[in-house]
Structure 1
């Protein structure tokens, strides 16, 4: 199954060094049966975009927790993970959320999505606004939405070293 894993640039550098995403369990997002049922009119591409968007939101939380480095950018790692390594179900709050029960080898990574540098000011503002947005503040939610309005750029796996350099 294609899984979208929230990450940051410093964490991606650690992944490259270790040769895998881990340790398990990892939280990811995928086109799960619950997501398909909830989003009945969507095709596979639309559903994958929903999973990517959820992973980008989770990446923002990682950044807000302090793993963004000097220039915080949302990062989503896309990987092919065997269904046997995944847990999805009613116990997981989000419809597209999955738990990856084993580390994901770098060889299973299909691509990486990253914010363009032009998104950094909005990402930084969203990081600051996230606690208030979580408490229901509409202005803070608007600020978070401002970061989410930026489309993530796509990078092939062979471009990861340049992205990190």
Structure 2
């Protein structure tokens, strides 16, 4: 099952250093049964799950004023047995991931462009304001992630 994990750049640096996404359990987002009930095709549902993770990333930025003002969403492919739907964690796309997520399970990352930092900073100051909606997340292959820190 494809899941989307909210993250920040400092947390991503730790993930790259450790070779895994820690934190047990982790909150992520996916095209769950509850999300599917709202309608839409698979591509739309996956996009909605990614946007839910981006909103959660914004809340992580609000809690970490020292982090660069760029949302980060990690996409990973996990066995369904490791995933539990739990809307109480953040809406119909929310899931709980039991156990750590090995780096090799990461499929890609989606990160704000540097040019979005001012708007994301305003959005992090008030996560419900919606300033982040003006910016699409950039796609990165897993092997490109190290270049975000050069």
Q: TM-score range by the shorter chain?
A: over 0.9
Residue 21 of structure 1 corresponds to 21
Residue 5 of structure 1 corresponds to 5
- Residue of structure 2 aligned with 1:148, choices 133, 145, 148: 133
User: What is the RMSD computed on CA atoms of the aligned residues?
Assistant: 1.4
After superposition, what is the alpha-carbon deviation per residue over 1:37-96, rounded to whole angstroms, capped at 9, x for unaligned?
A: 12x2x1111100000000000000000001652x32000000001111111146555100
Bigger Cα Rg: 1
Question: How many residues are matched?
Answer: 150
- Residue of structure 1 aligned with 2:53, choices 42, 55, 63: 55
Distance 1:45 1:121, change over 3 A: same
Residue 78 of structure 1 corresponds to 75
- Distance (Å, rounded) in 2 between the aligned partners of 1:161 and 1:8: 14
Superposition misfits of 4+ residues, deviation over 3 angstroms? 89-93
TM-score by length of 1: 0.86
Distance 1:128 1:44, change over 3 A: same
Tell me the SS of whatever aligns to 1:112. Answer: strand
